[in-house]
Structure 1
Amino acid sequence: MEIDPWVWWLIGAAGLGVGLVITAMPELGMLAVGAVAAAAAAGAFGGDTLVIQVAVFAVVSTALIAVVRPIAARHRAQRPQLATGVDALKGKQAVVLERVDRSGGRIKLAGEVWSARSLDTDRVYEVGEEVDVVDIEGATAIIM
């Protein structure tokens, strides 16, 4: 009993799929798609077209790797970073508890009392005003 070439391509695609799951290498998934395309070519053109099958496998696999890989790399690089600690406080709003000027004052930020000073040395913030935290220097919030 002879097995049709398209079946061999599907077995190869399944093997690559298993490799993808085990190693988490996305390139193996792209090669598996190329093998499925080669299986489709074998089914469409018959089993005697090994050159066409290999060409379809190579073209589809190479195209997927050339197109999908750079897109995935860009998405990986653009992941938002989770801000923690004082970095998470930058950009938050606070309420002035004691008058804030260039020499200091107090604000309520994220439920805690912080020392603060004005970013603009000529600006004064009065009690009750809402302000934005632009930076944290040590234990002092810089506001505007």
Structure 2
Amino acid sequence: MAWLWWLGGALVLGVVEMLTVDLIFLMFAGGALAGGGVALLGGPLWAQIAAFAVVSTVLLVAVRPWAIGYLKRSTPDTVTNVAAHVGRTAEVLMDVTDRAGRVKLVGEVWTARTAEPGTVLPTGTTVQVVRIDGATAIVAPVPVTYPE
């Protein structure tokens, strides 16, 4: 009957792992499964706890670093939030200077400034976001490319 407790603990640890995605609780779940296996074979409580501790430690020390490295290599980096706006183009709605202006960026109106002091970008110009400074888009003229 004790193996059911270990199985329940492994399931709970698995659910916690799905919420954290840190691969720590998954290793403890593996240890809980080992403890449950010892309990299923009729082992005493001290052997169940020892199996849990040993398997969890081995998984944490040996398997987790490898698994994290594999996940980092196989999962593409996704730029989100304001960092995703850097490099996008925007349309100037009000003349943009080094002090003020407005641009339409991905359907939203942003306060904008030019990256170079003294530059004025007129209304209707297409610009490129160089960086985001707080809630202000720092923009520069889109580089002109000529067909070869």
What residue is the counterpart of 2:59 in the other structure?
64
Q: Deviations over 1:56-99 (max 9, x none)?
A: 93643431132345678898xxx97963xxx4774243112333
Out of 98, 106, 129, the residue aligned to residue 102 of structure 1 is 98
Give the structure with higher Rg (CA): 1
Identity %: 29
User: What SS does the corresponding residue of 2:121 show, helix, strand or coil?
Assistant: coil
When the two structures are aligned, how many residues end up with a matched partner? 118
What residue is the counterpart of 1:20 in the other structure?
10
Cα pair 2:89 2:105 within 8 Å, conserved: yes
Cα pair 1:93 1:132 within 8 Å, conserved: yes
RMSD: 4.5
User: What SS does the corresponding residue of 1:103 show, helix, strand or coil?
Assistant: coil
What residue is the counterpart of 2:127 in the other structure?
130
User: What SS does the corresponding residue of 1:141 show, helix, strand or coil?
Assistant: strand
Cα pair 2:114 2:139 within 8 Å, conserved: yes
2 CA distance for matches of 1:104 and 1:118?
8
Write the mapping of 1:1-144 to structure 2, written as runs, cut at 5 A: 12-22=2-12, 24=16, 26=25, 27-35=27-35, 57=51, 59-68=54-63, 83=81, 87=82, 90-91=85-86, 92-126=88-122, 127-132=124-129, 134-137=131-134, 140-144=136-140
Cα pair 1:14 1:32 within 8 Å, conserved: no
Cα pair 2:31 2:54 within 8 Å, conserved: no
Cα pair 1:33 1:60 within 8 Å, conserved: no
How high is the TM-score relative to the length of structure 1?
0.50
Could you say if the C-alpha distance between residues 17 and 70 of structure 1 is closer, same or farther in structure 2, counting changes exceeding 3 Å?
farther
1 CA distance for matches of 2:58 and 2:125?
61
